[in-house]
Amino acid sequence: MSSKPEQKTILLAVSSSIAIYKSCELCRRLKERGANVYVAMTENAQKLVSPILFESLSGNAVITGMFSNSRQPVPISHISLSHVIDLFIIAPATANLIAKSACGIADDWITTSLLATTAPVLWAPAMNPQMYTNPATQKNIQILSERGHHFIGPFIGTTACGEVGQGRMAELEIILEKIDILLTKNKNLTGKKVLITSGPTQEPIDPVRYISNRSSGKMGRELALEAIKRGAEVTVVSGPSVEKLPYHSNSVYVQTAQEMYEQVLKLFPECDVFIASAAVADYSVIKPLEHKKKRTDEALLLELTPNPDILGEMGKRKNEKQIVIGFAAETNNLIENAKEKLRNKNLDLIVVNKVGGEKCAFGSEFAYATIITPDGIENEPSLTPKRELVQKLYDKIEELLKKKEAI
Ligand code: PMT
């Protein structure tokens, strides 16, 4: 099972940048997920924000220096803490701190602990764009990356000094996603390519109207995130969705079923696992109107044509090593209907979920669902958080991959 930050001990080292306000929120979000968070601050960071704020947010004494007159949550904390933490995050990270760490300098609590730690280290730099692109900073980042440290950002935008360029600290959602990846121990999908369809498609009627459905893209996002956490390279072909795709996936955006089909056709030969979670519109308008249709009192007939069956086509094309997985969104006869799709579309597995009800399928965090393979039903359908369903699905996918590799 993948790790969750809620059971983890995280050290958040804070250096002095205006982006420090984001670190306060990062500390809060990590606590909210159940992590035990220790915060260490450089002397300059303490001039921007009082340690009392981080103490209140983390619930632990904040480390403000090396010696006994400074605050320490545990004795000899630069050694004892750096050995027990699951992750060492430096956010915001200044050019100075990166430079000192690259040279192995240990002249304060944070740099000393960085030398002593065996935990994964994640840097979220924030600085003036010139300082970031300076060859000295770039070389220091390269040195640390080669030693196995991880970097997230900085991103392009307007920095506190008013300059536009690459210097803004990564947004929290992106940092949190990276933390989830680093904290997941199961990397059994490393080297595997997972291709996912997600969200609805939109089939134009005229320039302002379309045929579509209620898929939010939540299921596709969870599918992508879990595969990324387990080490896979993930590509998502997504229709226009409410949910954002993970930062760490390759994202291909489409509008219609035909466009989704064309993209999947291109990407499918390279993938090891194809998962069709998109709610593809089964029909499109034969000739969408060039101009906006004006209202009249007459009935309006739309002539529709069937869209390509993306999943069915990939089921036909798969080779003996590839795994093809479908979803079935059903209102009734869940198991029988899903089994029929499993057979007709030549699938290795199908996830059936019930449509309707307050917490079900479209737009919900939950699915009333089960997994079916040609060998039978995993268990009776039950209401499950999509995140948990997806974890079970990948456990099954790992089993199937092992079987196929043994052939
Ligand atoms: O996005 P969310 O709000 O989180 O909702 C998730 C979901 C309900 C959309 C998802 O869990 C789901 O069930 N997706 C499949 C919905 C669907 O279209 O089911 P279907 O029974 O009509 O299609 C069967 C399978 O064929 C699906 O894998 C579908 O992606 C695929 N298909 C269907 C039609 C088509 N033209 N091409 C396809 O590939």
Look at residue 367 in the predicted model and tell me its pLDDT. 95
Distance CA 275, CA 266 (A): 15
CA of 186 from ligand 1 middle (Å) equals: 28
Look at residue 359 in the predicted model and tell me its pLDDT. 78
**Which protein residue's CA is at the shortest distance from atom 26 of ligand 1?**
311
Contact call for residues 5 and 27 (beta carbons, < 8 A) = no
Look at residue 76 in the predicted model and tell me its pLDDT. 62
Residue 2 scores a pLDDT above 70: no
- Residues 5-48 have pLDDT tens digits of 557 999 999 999 999 999 999 999 999 999 999 999 999 999 99
CA of 277 from ligand 1 middle (Å) equals: 5
Considering all CA atoms of the chain, what is the largest pairwise distance in Å, rounded to the nearest integer?
Answer: 84
Annotated catalytic residue 271: no
CA of 240 from ligand 1 middle (Å) equals: 14
The pick from 195, 282, 327 for probing ligand 1's pocket by mutation, whose C-beta has the most ligand atoms within 8 angstroms, reads: 327
Residue 358 scores a pLDDT above 60: yes
Taking the model in full, what pTM does it have?
0.94
Look at residue 158 in the predicted model and tell me its pLDDT. 86
CB atoms within 10 A of CB 363: 13
Distance CA 270, CA 303 (A): 36
CA of 200 from ligand 1 middle (Å) equals: 8
Residue 3 scores a pLDDT above 50: no
Q: What is the mean pLDDT of residues 359-369?
A: 91
- Residues 218-232 have pLDDT tens digits of 999 999 999 999 999
CA 176 to chain centre: 9
Decide the pairing of beta strands 366-373 and 376-377. Answer: antiparallel
CB of 268 shorter than 6 A to ligand 1: no
Q: What is the mean pLDDT of residues 76-80?
A: 71
Look at residue 83 in the predicted model and tell me its pLDDT. 83
**Which protein residue's CA is at the shortest distance from atom 13 of ligand 1?**
329
Residue 306 scores a pLDDT above 50: yes
- Residues 99-136 have pLDDT tens digits of 999 999 999 999 999 999 999 999 999 999 999 999 99
CB of 362 shorter than 6 A to ligand 1: yes
- Residues 143-189 have pLDDT tens digits of 999 999 999 999 998 888 888 899 999 999 999 999 999 999 999 99
